[in-house]
Every structure is written in structure tokens, then in C-alpha cells.
A and B are shown apart, each in its own frame.
Chain A
Amino acid sequence: MNLIVAIKLVPDLVEELKINEEGNFLDLESLRLRVNEFDEHALEQAILLKERGAGRVIVIALDGEGVEDALFTAAAKGADQVIKLTGNTMPLVSNHTLARWLAPVIKSLQPSLVLTGVQAHNDLDGPLGPLLAEYLDLPYVGYVAKATMKDGEVEIRKEYPGGLAAEMEIDLPAVLGIQAAEQPPRYIAFSRIRQAMKTVQLEERQIPDPFIEEPIAIARLFQPEIGERAEIISGDVDEIAARLVDIFTDLDLL
């Protein structure tokens, strides 16, 4: 069985986010990308399923800064095949567009299960998973925290607020939006990644139809106003502690 993992590169929030001159998008020059954290969980879940005998893991990602590192890391973790989707002129596209690009390629891989992160922080037009599922004409369930393969089906645990969860079963093939893998994404020694860089063949596939879905027009992109921010208490820890004790006292906590 083929377990496809779609990973997305998203703005790295460790770096300061700069806005372009027009004020309606991120400044691409200073932008740094990293793999969406939830996609790392999706990959981990796929590898776990593979380790339990479910099949082969194929990882696919759109070309962008760091995509090869990400794919070789996936290979080092156990992915059997890694594919880079090329032909895009921008590193960031809307999820509708990305889903349209990915769908035919993923379909050609004859997926039994497609896994992707339940969301990414830059999903202005909704997360990738549901859109991808629709273009693949497959069912989608998100907020998945556990998955067990059964004959022709996958049984999943879907998370709701408040600690509630639901068990659902889904006929394969299907798409899952992973909230958390059953264990945190594993560590992989860098020497193994380097090994993968030397031995693993990174496949390239062209975007079949470069049609770009009209993205949601952003009139203004900005950082939340400083005026709304907290009153920062200054001083050393003892001074801060003293001020906090005053605040707690004023709030009748002490």
C-alpha cells in the first residue's frame, strides 16, 4: 500500500517577519521557510504505520528553500520515495493552488492513504488536507491523533475540544489531517541525513498544470499594534516578582 505524505514549507516564525513595500504580503527576500510542524507529525505517523507493516511511504513537497533538506530528512527517517514538485515561480502559493498541483501527481502514485498536517499557520484559504481530498475525490477527516490500518479501512481517533474524541472508520483510499502523531517526531542523526543525500534519489515532477487559483486578496498585512500589547514589567526577577505580588494582591488572589 502507498502512504503519501504531503509536506508544506511555511514561513519560519523564528525569523522576524517582514512585510513587503506594498503592505500586502510577506517580503520574500527576508523570508525563511521551514517544514510545517504538523506535517512533521504526519510524516511520523506515516513512518509508524509503515513500521507496523502498512506499506511504502512516499513524501512529496513543493519546491522552495530547504525542500531538499526536508525530503532527504524524510528519507533518512524511513520514507521509501521522495518527490519534489517543480515549476513554481513563487515559494508560497495558496492551498487551493497547491492542492490542484498535488492532486494529479498524488493520484498517479495510487495512494491508499494520504497524510498531511491538520493545518499550517499561514493557511489563509483553509488547510491543505480537505482541499486536496476534494480534488482527489477522496474522503477527509482531520484532527487525527491515532490511526490503525485494518482491512481496506483505517480506524482513526478524531479530536474534539475539551479532551473529547471520536473513533471513526474510513474506507480507503482516504486523506487524513494529522493533529499529532502517536509519538513525537523522531530525532534523526545528521550523519543519516547526509547519507541519504548521497544515496537517495530525489525525484522531480513538473507541476502538471501551472494554473494558479485566484488567491484571497489581502488588502493589508500587518503586525498587531504595539498599543494593544501588554504592560511589560521591567527589572530583575526579584523586582518583577514584587510587582507581580502587588498585581496578585490587587486582584484579591493573596
Chain B
Amino acid sequence: MKQEIFVLIEHLQGRVTDISYLMLAAARGITEKLDGNVVALLLGHNQRALANDLAADRILYFDHPDLAHFTPGAYQRVIGSLIEENKPRLALFGDTSIGVEVAGPLSARLNLPLVSYCKSLQVENNAIKFTSQICGGKLMAEGELPSPTALVTMIPGAYKAEQGRSVTPGVVVQASVPQLDKHPVRFLQYIEPETGDVDITKEALLISVGRGIQSQDNLEIIQELADALGGVVCASRPVVDQGWLPATRLVGKSGKRVKPKVYLALGISGATEHVEAITDSEVIIAVNTDPLAPIFNLAKYGATVDLLDLVPALTEAVKQATVKA
């Protein structure tokens, strides 16, 4: 009996999100070892084209005007009845603003176990194991995914998006949409991100600051370093929440996913919501006074000095090196 792994495809503003491809890659990793099928679930309206590069065995496409934008009610209804009918081995969701709102309620509603913060899935002795990253990245939890059906929300870090893309996507089947009743949650409109600022997702060198910056005023020295290096300043959530940098510079789960050549993380501890957005960086260099900060698990190089001491010295050294060149 083929085991099915459902993957909820997330899309925003006409693009499939990276986490969707990562999950397809994770699912493929399982079905290759166990006899299984990767079934991608795409919900939308006149958006069938989004299925074009999904690496899945089968793609179920649900089209309905009420699915034009994500709303928890409609998505839960569609996915919920699908899971009830088909009883897949696993259903994978992004640990995101979309995925959690489907997986969480369905876990309680259908009484199915849910594992969160999952970074990777492995097959061992015919059982499916999860590895989750919790406590701000300081701890890893491993275990077996319960049978017969388990829900999983996934975070980036162990798979590459390319592994979930395919030029020969799976068979697309238009599936019937169950009755979608009026739901207490209604989508009104999108609020576009601010434009006019530099697009950090396109930058090759990012100098990122976190809590360790301590005050808005210290951004001056960071900007000097960025200027000397020809890079762009960005930040983790605490800095943007304070209003010290605009939201366009936010790197993280609810900010931007970046893929620079070099990501200089200053005073950033490495909490999951932040690092999941930087896993595509080529080289991460971290400066944090806490030698146990999780960022050092991801960084290639690190220093445990105070960034406020290092940055002026580094700016000076960079300027001198540039002069010599």
C-alpha cells in the first residue's frame, strides 16, 4: 500500500514560497526509501500554473474563488476533508503564517499528532524520524513520527529549494472543492511592503544587527562598516520592532529571506525565526559575546567579542586594506 505524503504548497503574490519546495524535497527523501507518493496540494483560483515546477508524483489542484487568497477557514476545510478521506502517512506544512494555521487547528480537530519546528525527516528501520530544532536553536529533538497519520510543520535549513523543483512536474489533477461555508475570518486586502528602499534579497554583502546593538545610536558605526565594505545594513526582529531600521531591512520568518555571498551577523543570537531566512547565505560570519549562541552552529567563522568593540576596529582595518589595494 503506497504511503502518501501530502505537502501543502504555499504561495503569495503569484509565487510559490521556498518552504514549499523544501518540503517537497523532504517528502521525496522519505518516499525514496519507503514505498510512497509525494502529493502536492495546491489551493487557489486560476493559479494552476503555479504547479509547473513542483517536484511531486501527483499535484492536487483545488480551484475556487474563495481560495484566491489564503484564509484559514477555507484551507482547513479543504485539507481537513482530504486528510480524513485519504489518511496519508504524513502531511507537511510550512512553519509559517499559512502552514501553522492549517496544521494546528487540524491537529486538534482531527485528533492527529503534530510535530513542529521540524528541520529534517529521515527513514530508519522503516520508521520515519523527525529532527526538530527548538529553544531558539539551542536544542535538537529527535523522535519517531507516530502512525498512522502525523502532521509536521517544517522550517528551512536541511534541504535546498532546487531539490523540490522539477522541469517535469507531477501529474496535475483538478480536485473537487468541498462546500466552503461562510467563515468568521475574511480576507480584506494585502498591504504591500514598502518599496523605494534597497532590496536586501538581492545584495551580496549584508551586515546584520540584532539585540547586541543595544541602542539605535550604535547603528552609526554599523553603517560606517557597511560603507567601508560596500554592503547593506539589515537586522533581526528586535531592531526593527524598535523602529531603528525600517521593515524592508528585516531578515527573518516574517521578513525577507536573503541569499548573500557573505552574511555578517552582529549581536544576533541565532533564534530560529531569524536563521531560517539566512540558510542560503554562502558564508556566515557571526559576532556574539555568548559563545553558546546558536548562530555559531550556522556560521563558518565567529568571534566572541563585543560587536561595539570590534566594529570600529574592523572598519579601520577594512579602510586601510582598501587604501592599499
Contact = CB atoms under 8 A, between A and B. Distances in A.
Interface in A109-128: 119, 121-127
Interface in A168-182: 168-171, 174, 179-180
A248 B320 CA distance: 13
A144 to B, nearest CB: 10
Contacts of B35: none
Nearest to B131: A220
Interface stretch (A52-60, A79-87, A196-204, A228-236): A228-236
Interface in A17-58: 17, 19
A237 B101 CA distance: 46
Question: Dominant SS at the A interface?
Answer: mixed
Given A142-B101, A230-B299, A163 B188 contact: no
B118 to A, nearest CB: 9
Question: Dominant SS at the B interface?
Answer: mixed
A164 B321 contact: no
A171 B184 contact: yes
B50 interface: no
A130 B108 contact: yes
A120 B284 CA distance: 26
Contact of A241 (B71, B103, B229, B316): B316
Given A126-B114, A251-B261, A184 B242 contact: yes
Nearest to B201: A162
Contacts of A247: 283, 285, 301
A17 B135 contact: yes
A65 interface: no
Interface string A121-151: 1111111011101110001111100000000
A36 to B, nearest CB: 12
Contact of B304 (A161, A163, A223, A232): A232
16 contacts: A13-B135, A19-B139, A121-B135, A121-B136, A125-B116, A130-B103, A139-B73, A162-B256, A163-B194, A163-B247, A164-B192, A165-B193, A241-B316, A244-B285, A244-B314, A247-B285
Interface of B: 12-13, 17, 69-73, 96-98, 100-101, 103-105, 107-109, 113-117, 129, 132, 134-144, 146, 153, 183-194, 201, 205, 229-230, 237, 241-242, 247-248, 250, 253-257, 261-262, 271-272, 277, 283-286, 291-292, 294, 296-305, 309-310, 313-314, 316-318, 321-322, 325
Given A162-B201, A184-B242, A244-B314, 4 more contacts: A122-B135, A140-B72, A240-B310, A245-B314
Q: Which 9 residue pairs are nearest across A and B when measured between Cβ atoms?
A: A130-B104, A163-B193, A134-B108, A230-B302, A171-B184, A230-B299, A241-B317, A143-B97, A237-B313
